[in-house]
Structure 1
Amino acid sequence: MRICLLTHAYTPSIGGVAISVKRIAGLLKKTGYFVLISTLSQKVLPGEEVITEEDGILVSRLGKYPISSDTKTVWFEHLCRLIDKHKINIIHSYYVSRAGFIGVMAGKHKGIRSIVSIRGNDLGKDIFSGKEFPLIEWTLKNSSAITSVSKDLAHMAAILVPMKKINIIHNSVDTELFKKESPDTDLLNKLSISKEEPLLGFIGEGKPKKGIYALLNAFCRVLESKKAHLFIIGNIRQDMMDLIKFFRGKNAALKEYLHILPPVLPEYIVKFYNLFDIFVMPSLRDGMPNAILEAMACELPVITTSTGGIEELVLQGTTGLMVEPGDIDNLTKALLQLINSPEKRMSMGKAGRKRVEELFHPLKELEENVKIYKSEK
């Protein structure tokens, strides 16, 4: 098989889709399949292509236009040329409302199989847009097969297409890279903090759906009775930076205890996981966050919300604590509960590591994808 993975985001971009595509591309390559990545880039001139070879995988980056419809038109035309040039016979598109539509269109045009992968916001949010809904509906109905990272998203898609067409394939995590290690003392010194006070960590894209408001609100309440540090690491949207500025203006303690850091590459981010005592991601809605998988692999207890695929990942009271999305009172209680119980943090962390090793192994994700690629249905 000769496979093209189509995605609007790829490394060095930081985000769930980029991380997932890089992971599956590497697994496919190691198994012996030809893999081509077709993606978009703001660092390439509009309409121009830059091709690189990264870890034995061809990566085609196409420059985006200011107008979305122009980008889609050129991406479709470019993808059709790539299919011919590299004799592609499988297109796997990540994110229905972006790459998905282009991939299925090209698959239909070239008479090859097109698989589309539901990731999160594509159905959790974009489906409610009058502009996006027709594209999503057409893409799901005309794809050769559909994958979903969670049961929740699969049931959403089943409103539009038969459930039998949808395959639930959970994200996985590299447990060789993400594992418990001793805290990096050099990093601690660089950050000018000590391990005497609990360290809480959030890693991901700083946007409303990740529950940043609830996190900041709950953390301010925690600081009323406990000293703890909160790290927020990732691309932070301007509206969220404004929110952080607002909270800092109301609570002087945040100057010392709240730390905002830019995105960090996976090879280095593991050092931060191993500094943290608790990982927290109070999403309002989500697919199956890679960051939670990574945190569990590093034996961190997780405080999160009962939404989307998170409920399939975290075991309440065993690997972490879940509260309802937006429930600031119970989020505060959960934070204080684990801050005050090092023994509980340790037992939850070990249980989390065991769970990802058993259920979220990369080879399982690879096998389930290859099975769909080989299917004639």
Structure 2
Amino acid sequence: MPSGPRILLIAERFPPDLGGLARSGARTAGSLARLDAQVDVLTWTRTLPPGALQSLDAGEVAASARGATLHRLGLFGQTDTSMQHTLDVLDFLHSQRRYQLVWGHYLSPPGFMAVTFAGLAGIPSTVSARGNDVDQAMFPPGDFARLLWTLQRATVLTAASGDLGRKMTMLLGHDPGVEVIPNAVDTTLFRPGPADPALRERLGIQPGELVLGFSGELRHKKGVPFLLSALSEVRKVRPACLLVIGEVRSREQEHLTAFRAEHPEDAARILVTGRLDAPEDVAAHLRLCDVYLQPSLWDGMPNAMLEAMACARVVVASDAGGIPEAIDSGHNGFLVPKALLNHLGQAVIDVLSLSEERRATIGAAARARIEERFQAQAEAAALQRVLDRTIPKASS
């Protein structure tokens, strides 16, 4: 049994929820448990009755969060009711577990709730900026006052990228010593290898057809219009399909319907896998991709892009958020300025015109960058620094 500090991690999304935010929350919980911390996770869900609390022991959580205890709390119809009830539940859990640190995974609402409860309980807190949470709250109709209050009150600030750390420092007007916790990729699962011809056939990829890949939940912030226009542009010169490794957010279906009406032949070459729970299945699909696309409008450090790089895929991405911290354009991938994403299609065509040897060299350099900077040991070292700063006796 772990004998280290008791930590409560509050996460808005957590497996079995989809997306990079859920996966990174599970990975953080599991990594803290491997540092001998006693980790509880509280997450919200609409799959339980409002106000219902369900606790799962360490053997029932996602493999990446192994060692943590998961508490799922049913949401009410109104956010304020849900948050007030959450405080009551946190108080109950704290009375049973006596936490030494509260960790908010994403700035709002988890970060705000973590700082609020920690302040009431008289214990340290840390909040982790993960993606566009800073940008969303900075501008109307975002709640700038709540964002600033959260950043000011947290004991330690962490971020998924240096870019997010710089934004938080700017908002505070001083350097709080933001800890950048790099996303970690399991390079034993996400590795280079030959494409599976049986999988190509099962997905309906046609012989000789190039595969443009995207992984995760397809939604507006990931650059949906630019992905679709790039597919059309590439298909004017080469047979190609767009492989979406994951799902399309429901609100984007209208966008796809409009594209289908205007470009029916191109839309017919959009292949959506649906939900894939096993990382090895995601990796097998990534290995089918000739080019991986990440045209994010806003982002932190996208897990899916790092996984594609670990599979030695050639990545064409925007320069949003922390993406340039992973990609050196022309060396281990290619960047398109986020203000010029209408040129994404031409960038892909240019990449496809490179020799196979050149593309292989770029893919190998992408894999090397993941092995150098985005491994579990780098994440664990950053997490330990957070524990040392918030609970000084945690490392003794």
TM-score category, normalised to shorter length: over 0.9
2:47 matched residue in structure 1: 43
Given that 2:211 and 2:288 are in contact with CA atoms closer than 8 Å, whether structure 1 keeps it comes out as yes
1:257 matched residue in structure 2: 269
Correspondence list, 1:59-138, <5 A: 59-130=70-141, 132-138=143-149
Unaligned ranges ≥5, structure 1: none
Q: Which amino acid aligns with 2:352?
A: I
For residues 56 and 97 of structure 1, the distance between their equivalents in structure 2, rounded to whole angstroms, comes to 25
Given that 1:141 and 1:160 are in contact with CA atoms closer than 8 Å, whether structure 2 keeps it comes out as no
1:163 matched residue in structure 2: 175
For residues 280 and 379 of structure 2, the distance between their equivalents in structure 1, rounded to whole angstroms, comes to 21
Unaligned ranges ≥5, structure 2: none
Given that 1:307 and 1:325 are in contact with CA atoms closer than 8 Å, whether structure 2 keeps it comes out as yes
For residues 90 and 381 of structure 2, the distance between their equivalents in structure 1, rounded to whole angstroms, comes to 26
2:226 matched residue in structure 1: 214
Match of 2:150 among 107, 126, 139: 139
Deviations 1:6-58 (A, max 9, x none): 10000011112211111122222233221111111111111001111223321
1:188 matched residue in structure 2: 200
Given that 2:100 and 2:123 are in contact with CA atoms closer than 8 Å, whether structure 1 keeps it comes out as yes
For residues 193 and 271 of structure 1, the distance between their equivalents in structure 2, rounded to whole angstroms, comes to 14
1:28 matched residue in structure 2: 32
For residues 267 and 90 of structure 1, the distance between their equivalents in structure 2, rounded to whole angstroms, comes to 33
1:288 is aligned to 2:292 = no
Q: Which amino acid aligns with 2:315?
A: V
2:241 matched residue in structure 1: 229
Given that 1:203 and 1:232 are in contact with CA atoms closer than 8 Å, whether structure 2 keeps it comes out as yes
SS in structure 2 of the partner of residue 279 of structure 1: strand
Per-residue deviation at 1:368? 0.8
For residues 186 and 360 of structure 1, the distance between their equivalents in structure 2, rounded to whole angstroms, comes to 31
Per-residue deviation at 1:165? 3.5
Match of 2:290 among 277, 281, 284: 277
1:315 matched residue in structure 2: 328
Give the TM-score of the pair, scaled to structure 2.
0.91
Given that 2:227 and 2:295 are in contact with CA atoms closer than 8 Å, whether structure 1 keeps it comes out as yes
Per-residue deviation at 1:110? 0.9
Correspondence list, 1:234-249, <5 A: 234-249=246-261
Deviations 1:250-285 (A, max 9, x none): 223224422123232234211111111111010111
Per-residue deviation at 1:126? 2.3
Match of 1:19 among 23, 42, 65: 23
Q: 1:246 to 1:343 in 2, by over 3 A?
A: farther
Given that 2:245 and 2:285 are in contact with CA atoms closer than 8 Å, whether structure 1 keeps it comes out as no
Per-residue deviation at 1:131? 5.1
For residues 142 and 238 of structure 2, the distance between their equivalents in structure 1, rounded to whole angstroms, comes to 47
Per-residue deviation at 1:328? 4.2
Identity %: 31
1:364 is aligned to 2:359 = no
Q: 1:134 to 1:328 in 2, by over 3 A?
A: closer
SS in structure 1 of the partner of residue 284 of structure 2: helix
Deviations 1:127-176 (A, max 9, x none): 21355222111111001010011222222212332223422222221112
SS in structure 1 of the partner of residue 301 of structure 2: coil
SS in structure 1 of the partner of residue 362 of structure 2: helix
SS in structure 1 of the partner of residue 244 of structure 2: strand
For residues 371 and 31 of structure 1, the distance between their equivalents in structure 2, rounded to whole angstroms, comes to 11
Coordinate RMSD, CA, aligned: 1.7
Q: Which amino acid aligns with 2:168?
A: A
Give the TM-score of the pair, scaled to structure 1.
0.95
2:366 matched residue in structure 1: 352
